[in-house]
Amino acid sequence: MVQKISVDTPLAELTLRKYERPAEGISKRDLVRKLCLSLGLLQPGDSRDVIVDVLQVMLEAEREVTSTDVEKRVIAKRKEGKMELLGIAPSNIRRQLLRLRDIFLVEKVKNNYRIRENARLQTIFEENIEKYYLDSIVNRVKEYIAVVDEVFLTK
């Protein structure tokens, strides 16, 4: 009988992509889109890109906002940009906010959302994603590499 050691559900995962440097004169939305692609929040070629508008709304918010505020602002942005109103259901907006919370960019304070600690994204990335999240993932991968080396390369 085969004993199942663990469930193949990751404890954490992080997708990072490297793109060309930001072009001079790039629009705000395109800049946020490239950030979303770089952070794995958006897949290349994905037409479902409401996450871009949600993050842009959060970055432009001068104070904490509710999910309803985010929804209204996203709809206004998409209309202004003459984009299809896809992915704007309240449940999807909340799901996108949760995704931003999961990678530590956004936090929920009572029933409101804001950029984590009203900090700069660079600080958030360095302190939460790079030093905490990425480091723990890299260390676990190294543990697996060490065991694989021990098991397969021992002669």
The per-residue pLDDT for range 36-55, each reduced to its tens digit, is 999 999 999 888 899 999 99
**Helices marked H in the chain — which ranges?**
28-38, 50-60, 67-80, 90-102, 121-124, 135-152
Which pLDDT band, with edges at 50, 70 and 90, does 155 fall under? low
**Residue 28, CA atoms < 13 Å, CB-side half-sphere:** 10
pTM confidence score: 0.86
Rg (CA), the chain: 19
Q: What is the pLDDT, as a whole number, of residue 4?
A: 66
Q: Which CATH class is domain 28-117?
A: mainly alpha
User: What is the DSSP track for 129-152?
Assistant: IIIIIIHHHHHHHHHHHHHHHHHH
Q: How many CB atoms lie within 10 A of CB 97?
A: 23
Residues of the chain with pLDDT > 70: what percent? 95
